[in-house]
Structure 1
Amino acid sequence: MLVTLRELLTKADAGNYAVGAFNSPTLESARAAIEAAEELGAPVILSHAEVHNEIVPLEVMGPILVEFAKRASVPVAVHLDHGSHLDIVKQAIDIGFSSVMIDASHMDYEDNVRTVKEVVAYAHQRGVSVEAELGVLTSSGIGGEETKGGHEISPSEPEDYYTDPALAKDFVEQTGIDALAASFGTVHGIYVTEPNLDFERLAAIYENIQRPVVMHGGSGLSREEYVQAIRRGVRKINYYSYAAKAGAHAVKDYIDRTANLFYHDFTAVAKEAIKNDVKKAVEMFTLQGGGNSEAGRI
């Protein structure tokens, strides 16, 4: 069933768990996320990242994600990830998305607030949830949904890049967003060194904003790091790179051991591998990550 992000995260906040948001640039990844959620009886978020328009355009993939959500036996939000401007936000809403992210974090603070307020006014009038970003969420340059390759960098960034808890309070109060993507030490893509997460900062952000916190760059952490983040207010965890990597490795293994190769078999192999990886993530976020292990069950 199609629901809003606000509905999912309100329940997650009450139950002290997080909902996984899985970027789905292909049919296989979308099916994997839905099947994993249904098999576990857990809510899920299907996301389309604007940067993935080069793989499958929003106007093609968007309606598929919405239809999957409507037919699902579990609550599903369909979310635009890292929308860059109002035009693409409007496009996603017109398609039927129940949630959008406007990412104006690269702007100065006043322009970020102004841009987000414009999106909130448009989206809330249409019953659509809004996520926005404050701080800088960097990329490892390896497999991240916001990059297509590049050099390896450390996930440790100067403190100036992190979200300021006091500014976060003002940002939420001015914009009226439903969820805040905060920077506290995670990165997009594949970790090349051990992550260094600032949990004290995260707790202060959550306490100040009284809203669900979103963790981008959510794949590749340890179970304990997920638990600690959820206990400190993370209610939505974006997860992509490691699931995509699992699918790719499964296809490679299949090619290495199979004589007669057909492309359609690759898609089936990739879907199963992605689903298995997504199930592990959902179990950590929704079923075991929070204080109530049954809270995320439907």
Structure 2
Amino acid sequence: MPLVTSKEIFNKAYDGKYAIGAFNVNNMEIIQGIVDAAKEEKSPLILQVSAGARKYAKPAYLKKLVEAAIMDTDLPIVLHLDHGEDFEICKQCIDDGFTSVMIDASHHPFEENIEITKRVVEYAHARGVVVEAELGRLAGIEDAVNVSEKDATFTDPNQAVEFVKRTGVDSLAIAIGTSHGAYKFKGEPNLDYERLEKITQLLDGFPLVLHGASTVLPEFVELCNTYGGNIPGAKGVPEEMLRRAASFGVCKINIDTDLRLAMTAAIRKSLTEDPKNFDPRKYLGAGREAIKSMVRHKIANVLGSSNTI
């Protein structure tokens, strides 16, 4: 099976009131853990590549690893650019064979965001590629994304309608209270479901996206800290909140921090328990298994996309 776009899987997700996991990938073990989990759960996947991943692993390596994953699993997989900062990076990824790109011009004024997004949409659609954009700004830090709390803004529902209509974008990342990184909430977690429901009503049938949606699973934070880590006070989006969001038209939920925590916790534990070990296959293998287990849990119990292919 070749790489697919998100159109068909988003349509099924919207009607079925579940979400597709969009998992950030950086190396072979992360990809293997994710796709092995999805194969066992019979779930479609979005594997997404950030600017940091492109710099770390190089685009050619990541593309071939994803192609290998398709050969190994025959899963419907979308290869997606996460947070493309300008037209040129989106164009490069489209030309390199990505089936989906995100143009993130949310830091620009509304009209400029529309102009930049529309240019990417026109180039992508002419080549059979779908486009995600963002309206509103999430707080937090992740790879090249760094937005302070005072600069974060929630998505205006009426602006969202105008934005989608004028750009022709295929999906829209909205800001309703999630944030990037491992420290999402200082107090009690809270998502603006009233705003989400309003956007869903105004954009009936249109797929929405949640960024910054890792749960920051406590067991992995505890494992990291137990085996030499220092991640105090990390807090993510409770899983029940994500399931509820999927019932309001959220078809894509981004997960990155949970992958990092799962892998790091398993590697720390492996090296601490066997300090004589210097075989990367052993400790990276432990990390891969932790990712697989965590992703299976997400697909089955949070996203709801099990047995949909």
Tell me the TM-score normalised to structure 2 length: 0.86
Q: How far apart, CA to CA, are the structure 2 residues paired with 1:71 and 1:98?
A: 19
- Which residue identity is paired with 1:185? G
DSSP 3-state at the match of 2:180: coil
C-alpha distance 251-182 of structure 1, shift in aligned 2 (>3 A): same
Q: How far apart, CA to CA, are the structure 2 residues paired with 1:92 and 1:223?
A: 32
Per-residue CA deviation, residues 124-167 of structure 1 (Å, 9 max, x unaligned), is 1111111000000111x4xx34459x9xx8xxx56970000000
Aligned to 2:160: 168
Report matched runs for 1:169-188 at 5 Å. 169-188=161-180
CA contact (8 A) 1:69 1:77 kept: no
- Which residue identity is paired with 2:179? V
CA contact (8 A) 1:63 1:96 kept: no
Q: How far apart, CA to CA, are the structure 1 residues paired with 2:308 and 2:299?
A: 11
Residue 234 (structure 2) pairs with residue 223 (structure 1): no
| Percent identity of paired positions between Structure 1 and Structure 2 | 37
CA contact (8 A) 1:37 1:44 kept: yes
DSSP 3-state at the match of 1:229: helix
- Which residue identity is paired with 1:266? Y
CA contact (8 A) 2:49 2:80 kept: yes
C-alpha distance 158-87 of structure 1, shift in aligned 2 (>3 A): closer
For the aligned residue pairs, the C-alpha RMSD in angstroms reads 2.1
Which range moves more in the overlay, 87-96 or 106-115? Answer: 87-96
- Which residue identity is paired with 2:195? R
CA contact (8 A) 1:42 1:286 kept: no
Q: How far apart, CA to CA, are the structure 2 residues paired with 1:186 and 1:198?
A: 9
- Which residue identity is paired with 2:98? F
Per-residue CA deviation, residues 146-203 of structure 1 (Å, 9 max, x unaligned), is 459x9xx8xxx56970000000000000011110000000001113533221011011
Match of 2:260 among 231, 237, 244: 244
Q: How far apart, CA to CA, are the structure 1 residues paired with 2:118 and 2:255?
A: 27
Aligned to 1:297: 308
Aligned to 1:203: 197
- Which residue identity is paired with 2:93? A
Report matched runs for 1:249-288 at 5 Å. 249-261=265-277, 262-287=279-304
Report matched runs for 1:1-20 at 5 Å. 1=1, 2-20=3-21
Report matched runs for 1:1-298 at 5 Å. 1=1, 2-69=3-70, 71-139=72-140, 141=141, 144-146=142-144, 161-191=153-183, 192-193=185-186, 194-210=188-204, 211-220=206-215, 221-261=237-277, 262-287=279-304, 296-298=307-309
Q: How far apart, CA to CA, are the structure 1 residues paired with 2:68 and 2:106?
A: 31
Report how far residue 29 of structure 1 moved. 0.9
In structure 1, the gaps of 5 or more residues are 289-293
- Which residue identity is paired with 2:304? L
CA contact (8 A) 1:66 1:97 kept: no
Aligned residues, how many? Answer: 283
Aligned to 2:222: none
Report how far residue 208 of structure 1 moved. 1.6
CA contact (8 A) 1:251 1:266 kept: yes
CA contact (8 A) 2:136 2:156 kept: yes
